[in-house]
Amino acid sequence: MHVDLSKVVSPTPLRIKLMRTLWHCFQLPFFNHTPRMLSPLRIFLLRLFGAKIGRHCNISYGVKIWVPWNLTLGDYTAIGFGTEIYNFAPVVLGSNTVLSQRCYVCTASHDYSHPHHPLTTAPIHIGSEAWVAAEVFLAPGITIGEGAVVGACSVVTRDLPAWKVCAGNPCRVLKERVMRPASEPNCQP
């Protein structure tokens, strides 16, 4: 048996295709080319298209979100510039969570064992108080536990536990995340 993409028919309903096209028209001018301070406008547009966004969130410029109605953000959550959220399945970020610049959050892939390569999807959940550092790739179906830290440029292909510092390709647990009291002064070199 060989790959045969000539017989592939999209299972996506026309209504969803039209909504994504309309969203794309709004996203182009308002997301990539607006100053950082216009996060409230970006949040307004996302909510208009069905995103569930908590209070005091920040979505930086250059963020690309494919399907806004599949996005949920808790309170005080931030998404850094240049991040792409390829969310054909739901993506949920808890409260006080940071998704740093140029991350790629991917909820979809293709079944390479099938001759038509059908789309496969799985949701991604990032717990509250987690920090996903710059340029991290998150694979479909993963869960990042509450308070976890994912180091820059990591490739996350399986679930990460709560309150751990993780990094690498593939991403693995390095150590516990221990929080200092807020009253403790910053260390100076």
**Tokens 């080319």 identify what position?**
33
Binned at pLDDT 50, 70 and 90, residue 182 comes out as: confident
pLDDT in the model for residue 189:
52
For residue 19, pLDDT over 70 is answered with: yes
pLDDT in the model for residue 67:
95
Q: Is 68 exposed, middle or buried (0-12, 13-18, 19+ CB in 10 A)?
A: buried
Bridge-based pairing of strands 58-59 and 64-65 is unpaired
Could you tell me the pTM of the whole model? 0.90
What domains does the chain contain, in order, with CATH numbers?
12-175 (2.160.10.10)
Q: Is 114 exposed, middle or buried (0-12, 13-18, 19+ CB in 10 A)?
A: exposed
Percent of the chain at pLDDT > 70 equals 95
Q: Cα separation of 31 and 39, whole Å? A: 9
- How much is the CA Rg of the chain, to the nearest whole Å? 18
**Tokens 């390829």 identify what position?**
86
Per-residue pLDDT tens digits for 32-41: 777 888 899 8
pLDDT in the model for residue 35:
80
pLDDT in the model for residue 44:
93
For residue 187, pLDDT over 70 is answered with: no
Between 132 and 111, name the one with better pLDDT: 132
Binned at pLDDT 50, 70 and 90, residue 4 comes out as: confident
Which residues, at least 6 apart from 103, have a Cβ–Cβ distance to it below 8 Å? 80, 83, 84, 132, 134, 135, 136, 137, 138
Q: Is 58 exposed, middle or buried (0-12, 13-18, 19+ CB in 10 A)?
A: middle
Binned at pLDDT 50, 70 and 90, residue 135 comes out as: very high
Per-residue pLDDT tens digits for 64-101: 999 999 999 999 999 999 999 999 999 999 999 999 99
pLDDT in the model for residue 36:
80
